[in-house]
A and B are shown apart, each in its own frame.
Chain A
Amino acid sequence: MVIQVLRRVGSKGVSFLESFGASGMFLFQSLVAVPNIRNNFPLLVKQIYAVGVMSLVIIMVSGLFIGMVLALQGYNILTRYGSEQALGQLVSLTLLRELGPVVAALLFAGRAGSALTAEIGLMKSTEQIAGLEMIGVDPLRRVIAPRFWAGIICMPVLAIIFSSVGIWGASLVGVDWLGVYSGSFWANMQDSVQFSDDVLNGVIKSIAFGFVITWIAVFQGYDAVPTSEGIGQATTRTVVYASLAILGLDFILTAVMFGDL
């Protein structure tokens, strides 16, 4: 009994390590394959369009509403202590440090990550990947690398836009609707937000998230069983793994950045 359980745990562990190693190798190979900017730049632009521009609407709408909700909730609580002028501080720090990078990353995983997995899985099942190999083109270089870089480039841009739109939404609700004095709203914000700490740390977080999400997404697509069922499962796995990775990584990064570790 015990031996059996041990054996099962052991083989699970080994297969986990194996797939982790395989995805690491995969990552390494696709990132080593960067050069030849002249040929690959148009591919990168196309992928930034697919990954970034196509995610822009959902990011902006979500950012707007989250900023507005934060302002409403924050105002309700702060007004109890007569310190509603701290609203700007509350909203901006929450957005810049946590919600901006994290929620944008979760949306990105759902919108762009799943699309990446499905697209690559479909390319695999329709033999386009094998076709590239037979034409003598490294699919890692041609297909994976541009998508990967596009993800890493787009994620911080999206997170910055998310936070900005959120703060703007909060000012709409807080200043224009609830009547917080606009001078103290912005001044309080500027007083408490440090560019190098809060803004840049948020950007660093989102770069890390972009890295992890696209890594998971392209690997799941490349590793998918090339059937419609397999692609469906791979897409689900991308969203689940990416979301868990984002939240776990966020805790670690927050502890390192803001936790005086």
Chain B
Amino acid sequence: MRIRTLEISVGAFMVAGFAALIFLALKVSGLTLDAAEESYEVTARFENIGGLTVRAKVTMAGVVIGRVSNIYLDKEDFVGVVEMDIYNQFDNLSIDSTASILTAGVLGEKYIGIVVGAEDEYLAEGDEIEDTQSALVLEDLVSKFLFNKTQE
């Protein structure tokens, strides 16, 4: 019977390891089991992306509706192009929606906030959001403020 307890404890050990991995996946990293959620890709061009990173959140009214999938520079117009994946369930964003780069808290991470527009036509795979608002860069704000002050 000694060999039985040995095998059972090894089995329990492996199960505990597996359970811990599931705990890490679901509870700690918030992985949902249907992780590969269907999405469609839209792009947006910004004067300045100001520290936005790949996999940043895309939100609407504070709710996450997608992720940033790629960021690169348009070499002709010299603007930053952001590609983002919007989950398929949010398929009724009007084509004149506005995308802006926002900051969570004063020093928090950057994310994209989308405000819906008024058109009846909806964004689809490959579309571009025309109306964008770049990230607020602290240095620009400060210099604008000082410029205004000296004007007075």
- Residues on A facing B (Cβ under 8 Å): 45-46, 48-49, 52-53, 56, 92, 96, 156-158, 160-161, 163-165, 167, 186, 189-191, 193-195, 198-199, 203
CB distance from B68 to the nearest CB of A (A): 13
**Are the CB atoms of B27 and A199 closer together than 8 Å?**
no
**Are the CB atoms of A49 and B6 closer together than 8 Å?**
yes
Q: Check if B29 is an interface residue, CB within 8 A of chain A.
A: yes
B17 contacts across to A, CB distance below 8 A: 156-158, 160-161
**Are the CB atoms of B28 and A96 closer together than 8 Å?**
yes
**Are the CB atoms of A189 and B20 closer together than 8 Å?**
no
B115 contacts across to A, CB distance below 8 A: none
**Residue among B9, B24, B25, B27 with the highest chain A CB neighbour number at 10 A:** B24
A contacts with B: majority SS: helix
Q: How many residues of B contact A (CB 8 A)?
A: 19
A49, A158, A198, A203: which contacts B29 (Cβ < 8 A)? A198
B13, B23, B30, B55: which contacts A56 (Cβ < 8 A)? B13
On whether A163 and B29 interact (CB within 8 A), knowing A45-B10, A46-B6, the answer reads no
In whole angstroms, how far apart are the Cα atoms of A167 and B9 in the complex?
24
**Are the CB atoms of B28 and A199 closer together than 8 Å?**
yes
**Chain B 25-56 interface 0/1 with A at a Cβ cutoff of 8 Å (1 = within):** 10111110000000000000000000000010
**Are the CB atoms of A190 and B29 closer together than 8 Å?**
yes
In whole angstroms, how far apart are the Cα atoms of A177 and B30 in the complex?
24
- Residues on B facing A (Cβ under 8 Å): 6-7, 9-10, 13-14, 16-17, 20-21, 23-25, 27-31, 55
On whether A96 and B24 interact (CB within 8 A), knowing A190-B29, A193-B29, A195-B29, the answer reads yes
B10 contacts across to A, CB distance below 8 A: 45, 48-49, 52-53
A167 contacts across to B, CB distance below 8 A: 24, 28
B23 contacts across to A, CB distance below 8 A: 164
**Are the CB atoms of B30 and A161 closer together than 8 Å?**
no
**Are the CB atoms of A190 and B9 closer together than 8 Å?**
no
**Residue among A164, A189, A193 with the highest chain B CB neighbour number at 10 A:** A164
On whether A161 and B6 interact (CB within 8 A), knowing A96-B28, A190-B28, A198-B29, the answer reads no
A49 contacts across to B, CB distance below 8 A: 6, 9-10, 13
A161 contacts across to B, CB distance below 8 A: 16-17, 20
CB distance from B11 to the nearest CB of A (A): 9
**Are the CB atoms of B14 and A194 closer together than 8 Å?**
no
Closest residue on chain A to residue B105 by CB atoms: A83
B20 contacts across to A, CB distance below 8 A: 157, 160-161, 163-165
B7 contacts across to A, CB distance below 8 A: 45
Q: Sample 6 A-B pairs with CB under 8 A, ordered by A number.
A: A49-B9, A157-B17, A161-B20, A167-B28, A189-B29, A190-B29
Closest residue on chain B to residue A164 by CB atoms: B20
In whole angstroms, how far apart are the Cα atoms of A48 and B10 in the complex?
7
In whole angstroms, how far apart are the Cα atoms of A233 and B21 in the complex?
37
**Are the CB atoms of B13 and A199 closer together than 8 Å?**
no
CB distance from A182 to the nearest CB of B (A): 12
B21 contacts across to A, CB distance below 8 A: 160, 199, 203
CB distance from B51 to the nearest CB of A (A): 15
Closest 3 CB pairs of A and B: A190-B30, A157-B17, A164-B20
**Are the CB atoms of B9 and A92 closer together than 8 Å?**
no
B31 contacts across to A, CB distance below 8 A: 195
CB distance from A54 to the nearest CB of B (A): 10
In whole angstroms, how far apart are the Cα atoms of A198 and B21 in the complex?
12
Closest residue on chain A to residue B24 by CB atoms: A199
CB distance from B41 to the nearest CB of A (A): 20
In whole angstroms, how far apart are the Cα atoms of A56 and B23 in the complex?
18
CB distance from B60 to the nearest CB of A (A): 17
In whole angstroms, how far apart are the Cα atoms of A157 and B19 in the complex?
10
On whether A191 and B30 interact (CB within 8 A), knowing A96-B24, A160-B21, the answer reads yes
